[in-house]
Amino acid sequence: MADTRKKVEGEYLMYQGKPLVRENDTIIYGDLNNDPCVLCLDIMGYTGEGEARVPSKVLIQVVDAKDPN
């Protein structure tokens, strides 16, 4: 099956040599092209108000980078 993921141009925030990307309440840590697995952090809840909102519940999953389903 052909890879249908769209490649995004630009630079990512890097942490210990691996990309750290956030979209809404999902954070992905790792390289989908070069790593066997990546970390998927889903923010499930927040505490605080306004600009002082801090994640209170985070679901952490180890996901196969070759088959993220």
pLDDT in tens, 28-65: 999 888 889 999 999 999 998 888 889 999 999 999 98
- Residue range(s) defining the domain that contains residue 51: 13-64
Residue 26 placed within a domain: yes
- Bridge-based pairing of strands 13-15 and 26-29 is unpaired
User: Residue 52 — left, alpha, or beta (φ > 0 → left; ψ -120 to 50 → alpha)?
Assistant: alpha
Residue 32 placed within a domain: yes
DSSP-derived letter for residue 46 is E
Per-residue pLDDT reduced to its tens digit, 44-53: 999 988 888 8
Give percent above pLDDT 70 in the chain.
86
Residue 2 placed within a domain: no
Residue 4 placed within a domain: no
Residue 6 placed within a domain: no
What pLDDT, on a 0 to 100 scale, did the predictor assign at position 1? 52
Residue 5 placed within a domain: no
CB 18 within 8 A of CB 27: no
Q: In the chain, how many domains are there?
A: 1
What pLDDT, on a 0 to 100 scale, did the predictor assign at position 9? 74
